[in-house]
Structure 1
Amino acid sequence: MSYSSLVTQPPCRIKKTALLLLLTSSFAMADVTLDTVVVTATRSERRVDDTPVRTEVISRAEIEKTHARTLKDAIENIPGLQLREVHGKSGYELSLQGLSSDQVLVLIDGLPIAASTSSTVNLSQYLLSEVDHIEVIKGAASAQYGSSAMGGVINVITRRVKPGFSGSADASLGSYGAQNDSGKSWDAGLKHGQFQLEGGSEQWRARLSGDVLDDAGFGTKPENWSRQGDASKRQQYGAKLSWLPQAGDELWVEGSRYREDDVQRYQRYVPPRLLAQEKTEGIARDRFVAGAKTSFVNGMRVQAQLLDETYNSEGKEYSLGDLMSVRRFEQHLNHLTAQVDLPAWYSQLWQFGMDWRKENVSQSVNGVSEFLGSQKVSKESRELFVQNDIFFGDDWEVVLGLRVQDDSDFGTHAAPKIALRGNVWESGDWKGVLRASFGQGYRVPNLKERHFLFDHSSLGYMVLGNPNLKPESSNSWQLGGNLALSRKVSLDINAYFNQVKDLIQVDEINAVTSNGVSKFTYKNIARTETRGIETALDWRVSDQLNINTSYTYSLSKDLDSGKALTRRPENMARLGLDWEVLAGSTFTLRSRYQSAELIDSAKNAHSDAWMTTDIKFNQQINKNITAYIGIDNVQDTQRDFSNPNDFGPISGRFIYLGSRFAWGS
């Protein structure tokens, strides 16, 4: 009996065993590997093919065969996703469907992760030893995770601890060739290692994990002072303890500690000469989560999680070796979430929930606050959400949702959503699925946009907060479908249209330059829109060969000025190939293309198009050991660092080798 046919029966006609199977699926299905199970679309477990909201998944197998080390590495092959460097930081942020990282929620098991500078989540600051898979929702169709997710949701799902005992260890070395910091091509420019130990009984289970990524940085001319690639050492350690007193019930606590040390080296022109500059930054993130979930005999499920996270950084700037300034940033984030899933009631599944979030932030330079008029700023929000999942037979499903947000500074706002899924055609092994959704987005200005005096004079710019900013709001439409031939061919097409009111963006046109420092502020753009079409084709040519490709066309415009929005390329494409050359020998290729992008609308300046290709080879030595080698950016595509309008890839060709050892269940 199918999932949808089961829930369309009145309760009196559903057999007790089948009802329990359905309604405890959120606790049991995570162990099933026959079909990918996702949670982000509806905040409840569903097979990815059955979700009413289109969900893209990066599996653990994909992470391992592409040797991804950070969250940035793991998601860089998602169709239509754009990665950008975080200004003044060693890391990356993202853009989805023409909307920036401030408008995309990044979550760990459904809970937010602290953003550097209280704004953008740095994707390089999360390592992957604990990750099972990553789910991506595009557009504002998932009201369950916050109406502020105007551009979408990236939800990192950690591994479920299983009974028994198992573990894994992974180590690799890599070189930037002639650009190595040491100037010697065969030195190790990057070192990476990770481990995981887990296991226990049916009632008690535990996990320990660790991940270290030590990057010496690189320079196009290593003999010079400047380094185009920052040196960084990132460390992440985690532990989790779970108690499962009976089937369907679980209590758990988990904690993680992240540490990062960065060094940037550059030169600043002070007539009549260039002066050697250095910036160091030490980052600490401590994250603690406690959670509980239970299921009742009648099928009702209740779950709750509490997050406490601190994120601190200390940056020091030097000129000719002399300490010039010390910047300290402190952030404390608390988040409580709870939800109740009611038993199947005729053809409906009801869900109710709440979120409470509080954030405190302070930042100072040389002991003087960088907030306009205060030492510390804070904000608090309370949100309620409700969802009704309605099934019409085995073929059609409608999801209705509403989220109400009450913000401490901006009052109350309600954001609805609706999603439709239908099996519109089935013949033999062919199947056609239609998906359509509408969602409203709403995002209040973050603390950085409203209050920061963000002084990066050493890097040539300064950004001033604007306390008069208004909240952003959006209407997001998504319409698409999937045509599949069994498990051999799958074609996805999705069109999107986002109308954004009061989009918050740095005002680049009205920047003022004084003593070589450009001063910017934030502004609201009254009316903007992003629209485009995404296509993806997956073709399993044979049991040994799989090919996937995608193309995204996107347009973004300021409707008042008629000009395109900056840093949003019109065309992006992806190509992937996985070939099992021999039993246990796998060749993997991932290629990315991005067209030219507008950098300065006033001067009509563009950054050129670029393309990179990564190749990987994995060789299984025995059932426990796998050796691998990879070349990232085979073409050695790298930006012209003398051109401030070139935003192509930072790193050139990178070659590495490593091995993975896994044992146990």
Structure 2
Amino acid sequence: MATEESVKLNTIVVTATRSEKKLVDSPIRTEIVDEQELIRTNAITLKDALENIPGILLREIHGKSGYEISLQGLTSDQVLVLIDGLPLAASTSSTVDLDQYLVSGIDHIEVVKGAASAQYGSSAMGGVINIITKKVSDGFSASGQVDIGSYGKQNANGKSVSINNHHEKVQLEAKQGSFQGRLIADQFKSDGFAVNPDNYPLQGDIQKRQQYAVYGAWQPSDQFSIWADFNDYQEKDHQRSLVFISPSNREQAKVEDIERQRFSAGGQYKTANQIAFDIKAVHETYDTTSTQTTDGYLSALRNSNQENNHFSSQVSLPTWLKQNWQLGYDWHEEQLEQSNNGKFEMQGGKVSRDRHEFYLQNDAALTNKIDAVFGWRFQDDQDFGDHNAFKFSTKYRFYQENDLFADLRLSYGQGYRVPNLKERFYSFDHSHLGYIVIGNPNLKPESSDSYQLSLSLVKSELWNADFNLFWNDVKDLIQTDYDNAVVSNGITQYSYSNVAKAETKGFETSAQWNITPYFSVNGSYTYTEASDKTTGLDLTRRPKHIARLGSNYSVNDQLDVTLRARYQSQEYGDSANQYSSPNWFTLDSQLDYKISPYVSAFVGMDNIFNEQRDFTASFDYRPISGRYSYMGLRFNWNKKSS
């Protein structure tokens, strides 16, 4: 365990400074989910991978079956998700569904909290999550996993002892000379689950998710390399529920077919005097067809086509007087077209926008003890004109003796978010429920000032602790305007508006202690106050207290035991702060047994105490799924090249 922690502290991170730096040396606080954590918790999707990060809040996407993220009280619309530095398309043109990315091929995940718009532009005002994929090892390797799971009495077929979920993945990779490549296939299937399987509704959807990836690279020298990556994700999701249409409940079904295709490529060239030129780009399409029936009759047929294009270039100058200057240019374009029963839901039909961004950054060692990062970005937006963002972060190592050192980090960043196409042009027509939400093309960008102050203590490979104070001041917050709603023909018409100012503030603390080389414990606690400065009331879906506790125990060279506990306090469900969701606590466990150098078996149970929401309560946001048991096999074989 001590060895694993040492490797983690020395992980090379790139998100905070856009250049390679050891985690312990980064002037900007960065949190890591490494590959070992993904294995110990049997993470299948990005949502699974992130749920034990300190202070992270995961919640269901409204009207869908997926999950979105909240950092330091800021919403998922304000958090940018990247894959190797390139943006991942939002599933609804507004927020990324964390369940729609299977984690095969991930080396580690980097999380930076607080405004990062100076580094990454719009949507990074709340933070950045960067998925770093694995580098291909020398020789040839093959790995894979097969596992099955059950919800017990809540299995959709009503049988407690039966297989409800299936998951299989395989990965092949090879590296020989200047060439390297990788193939990945990953599939997850679920029959869904229900509190009462004899009834029609399902609380957990029937799902089939498939993800395929092909990667290749050519590196003839240390000075030049090019690469390309193709990723195809497909999902079929089937929901079953009851809807009241006077005078009785009717059976409603919704089937959603989703396909995301992502092609990215890039290259790097270093000159003889160590000037590095990096370029990379991504083309991503996200298409959905949603079919909704009521008592077997078609009630809605919705088609959505989304396209995102992003180009990024960066020039990194050679180190000069302990300074590392970077200059860059980004171009981003997005398009969205959506219809319901053949009628366009986007005002004006197909809508699009693009933006051009220029940035400048300097990562400097001011003294032997002080490092600093200065960043500035200029954005020229097709619809919103010019925008600037600035960031300054510094790290001061004020104590170092033998194997103990202490760092103080201070960061100030300006954030901004340009309204997405959905907020500006989309019409949410829910007339059958008595309301419509209409996009507002006159929205202004959101902006924020973010302050972070942290203290980090590291005692060699034995223990480390982190304390962080944060304050995010948000202006022109975009939300649904309830005060100026209009009623027409009995239908309430809402719109989006820049109607609020908000602030989120609090503190986070986390620690890990390697008690022995075989046993370690880790924990974290986050306190958050998130309020609407206009009304003085708490923002909805922001619990004040979030805690994590975990332990890793290697019984011997073959058997590992993992425990992960999570606590979340109550949270308000309405803007008037009249209704709240109860607090909750869950405990997960997993046992891994190495059968041979190539094969290991595992068995686990999530939500051991069966903490689950009351589905008849409107404002109950406790976990959707109850106790879940699983078991499986992993294999890993590698042949080094001679």
User: For the superposition of Structure 1 and Structure 2, which TM-score range results when normalised by the shorter chain?
Assistant: over 0.9
Q: Does the CA-based 8 Å contact 2:189-2:207 persist in structure 1?
A: yes
C-alpha distance in 2 between matches for 1:515 and 1:271: 19
Amino acid at match of 1:636: N
Q: Does the CA-based 8 Å contact 2:90-2:97 persist in structure 1?
A: yes
* RMSD over equivalenced CA pairs, Å: 1.7
C-alpha distance in 2 between matches for 1:518 and 1:337: 43
State yes or no: 1:492 paired with 2:492.
Answer: no
C-alpha distance in 2 between matches for 1:299 and 1:110: 22
C-alpha distance in 1 between matches for 2:491 and 2:252: 16
> 1:274 maps to what in 2?
249
C-alpha distance in 1 between matches for 2:256 and 2:545: 35
> 1:308 maps to what in 2?
283
* Alignment match of 2:374 (pick from 393, 396, 400): 400
1:562 match: secondary structure: coil
Residue 200 (structure 1) shift: 2.5
C-alpha distance in 2 between matches for 1:468 and 1:132: 42
> 2:4 maps to what in 1?
none
Amino acid at match of 2:310: H
Q: Which consecutive unaligned segments of at least 5 residues does structure 1 have?
A: 1-31
Amino acid at match of 2:190: D
* Alignment match of 1:568 (pick from 536, 542, 556): 542
TM-score normalized by the length of structure 1: 0.93
Residue 261 (structure 1) shift: 0.3
Residue 512 (structure 1) shift: 7.5
1:600 match: secondary structure: coil
* Alignment match of 1:339 (pick from 310, 314, 330): 314
1:42 match: secondary structure: coil
Amino acid at match of 2:160: S
C-alpha distance in 2 between matches for 1:547 and 1:603: 37
> 2:190 maps to what in 1?
215
Residue 457 (structure 1) shift: 5.7
Note the 1:462-501 alignment, pairs <5 A: 462-501=436-475
Q: Does the CA-based 8 Å contact 2:122-2:418 persist in structure 1?
A: no
State yes or no: 1:94 paired with 2:97.
Answer: no
Note the 1:3-14 alignment, pairs <5 A: none
2:612 match: secondary structure: coil
Note the 1:514-533 alignment, pairs <5 A: 520-533=494-507
* Alignment match of 1:589 (pick from 545, 563, 588): 563
> 1:132 maps to what in 2?
107
Residue 79 (structure 1) shift: 0.6
> 2:3 maps to what in 1?
none
Identity, in percent, stands at 48
* Cα deviations by residue, 1:482-531 (Å, 9 ceiling, x for unpaired): 01111111110000011100011234677689999876432223421110
C-alpha distance in 2 between matches for 1:516 and 1:494: 50
C-alpha distance in 2 between matches for 1:371 and 1:505: 18
* Alignment match of 2:589 (pick from 593, 611, 615): 615
State yes or no: 1:423 paired with 2:384.
Answer: no
> 2:98 maps to what in 1?
123
Residue 428 and residue 34 in structure 1: after superposition, are their counterparts in 2 closer, same or farther (change >3 A)?
Answer: closer
Q: Does the CA-based 8 Å contact 1:55-1:135 persist in structure 2?
A: yes
Residue 558 (structure 1) shift: 1.3
2:58 match: secondary structure: strand
Number of matched residues? 633
> 1:60 maps to what in 2?
35
> 2:142 maps to what in 1?
167
State yes or no: 1:369 paired with 2:344.
Answer: yes
User: Which has the higher mean CA deviation after the structures are superposed, 186-195 or 256-265?
Assistant: 186-195
> 1:326 maps to what in 2?
301
Q: Does the CA-based 8 Å contact 2:9-2:22 persist in structure 1?
A: no
Residue 515 and residue 443 in structure 1: after superposition, are their counterparts in 2 closer, same or farther (change >3 A)?
Answer: same
1:62 match: secondary structure: helix
C-alpha distance in 1 between matches for 2:242 and 2:493: 20
C-alpha distance in 1 between matches for 2:200 and 2:73: 37
C-alpha distance in 1 between matches for 2:244 and 2:534: 38
Residue 365 and residue 478 in structure 1: after superposition, are their counterparts in 2 closer, same or farther (change >3 A)?
Answer: same
C-alpha distance in 2 between matches for 1:240 and 1:58: 22
C-alpha distance in 1 between matches for 2:491 and 2:157: 32
Amino acid at match of 2:191: A
Residue 187 and residue 644 in structure 1: after superposition, are their counterparts in 2 closer, same or farther (change >3 A)?
Answer: same
* Alignment match of 1:199 (pick from 174, 196, 199): 174
Residue 589 (structure 1) shift: 0.6
* Cα deviations by residue, 1:161-188 (Å, 9 ceiling, x for unpaired): 2231001010100001111111111221
Amino acid at match of 1:647: Y
Residue 612 and residue 424 in structure 1: after superposition, are their counterparts in 2 closer, same or farther (change >3 A)?
Answer: same
C-alpha distance in 1 between matches for 2:434 and 2:83: 35
Residue 70 and residue 461 in structure 1: after superposition, are their counterparts in 2 closer, same or farther (change >3 A)?
Answer: farther
Residue 349 and residue 603 in structure 1: after superposition, are their counterparts in 2 closer, same or farther (change >3 A)?
Answer: closer
C-alpha distance in 1 between matches for 2:162 and 2:67: 25
State yes or no: 1:437 paired with 2:437.
Answer: no
C-alpha distance in 2 between matches for 1:350 and 1:291: 21
> Following superposition, which runs of at least 4 residues in structure 1 exceed 4 angstroms of deviation?
456-462, 508-520
Residue 521 and residue 611 in structure 1: after superposition, are their counterparts in 2 closer, same or farther (change >3 A)?
Answer: farther
C-alpha distance in 2 between matches for 1:318 and 1:624: 48
Q: Does the CA-based 8 Å contact 1:509-1:602 persist in structure 2?
A: no
Q: Which consecutive unaligned segments of at least 5 residues does structure 2 have?
A: 1-6
State yes or no: 1:176 paired with 2:151.
Answer: yes
User: Which has the higher mean CA deviation after the structures are superposed, 623-632 or 161-170?
Assistant: 161-170
